């Protein structure tokens, strides 16, 4: 960090096929890859995944079905410490009738957990940049808290995860 830039680790989590890679490609390259290329999701990589999650300064969750288990795993990997989280509603370019979860349900969950929520589409670029910008601003704000103030540990998923000013 000798250049004066801040460096933080953002971890994107979610079930297979939900668009984690597509979201990343759109964010970094500004394009959508139409062909599906499955990435490593095997259980044999769980140790590596856990280690990566521990290093995360903020998280983007691209799932809803297993959001409770992902949220609990994030807390566990961070030893119960609060951490900024963005939940992305996947593939908002698809018809509402194809959704498994309504936007209202997702927003309610995020309000309960003090997460950020965005409807995103890597195909059309909808809210991809703003979701990551919001997370990065949250990470910077969270990490600018003076070190002498002890950051509270959380007891479970439905505790306050991210303290906003």
Averaged pLDDT, 131-146: 90
Residue 110 or 101, more confident: 110
Mean pLDDT of the region 94-112: 86
Q: Indicate whether 156 belongs to any domain.
A: no
Given this model, what pLDDT does residue 156 score?
43
30 lies in some domain: yes
Is 83 part of any domain? Answer: yes
Whether 156 contacts 106, CB under 8 Å: no
For residue 97, being part of any structural domain is answered with yes
Q: What average pLDDT does the segment 29-43 reach?
A: 77
Residue 147: per-residue pLDDT? 54
* Long-range contacts, stretch 144-152, CB < 8 angstroms, 24+ apart: 151/81, 151/82, 152/81, 152/82
Is 136 part of any domain? yes
Domain extent, residue 44, equals: 14-143
Instruction: Indicate which CATH number applies to the domain containing 73.
Output: 3.40.50.300
Residue 162 in any domain: the answer is no
Per the structure, the count of domains in the chain is: 1
Element (H, E) at 111: helix 103-113
The span from the CA of 49 to the CA of 36, in Å, is 22
DSSP 90: S
């Amino acid at each position: 960090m000798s250049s004066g830039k801040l460096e933080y680790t953002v971890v994107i989590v979610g079930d297979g096929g939900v668009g984690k890679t597509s979201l990343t490609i759109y964010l970094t390259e500004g394009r959508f890859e139409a062909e599906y290329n499955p990435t490593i999701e095997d259980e044999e990589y769980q140790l590596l995944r856990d280690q990566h999650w521990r290093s995360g300064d903020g998280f983007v969750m691209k799932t809803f079905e297993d959001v409770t288990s992902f949220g609990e795993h994030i807390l566990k990997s961070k030893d119960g410490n609060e951490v900024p989280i963005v939940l992305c509603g996947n593939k908002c370019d698809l018809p509402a009738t194809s959704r498994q979860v309504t936007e209202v349900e997702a927003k309610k969950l995020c309000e309960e957990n003090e997460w950020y929520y965005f409807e995103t589409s890597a195909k059309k670029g909808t809210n991809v940049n703003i979701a990551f910008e919001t997370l990065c601003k949250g990470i910077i704000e969270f990490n600018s808290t003076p070190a002498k103030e002890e950051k509270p540990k959380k007891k479970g998923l439905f505790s306050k995860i991210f303290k906003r000013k």
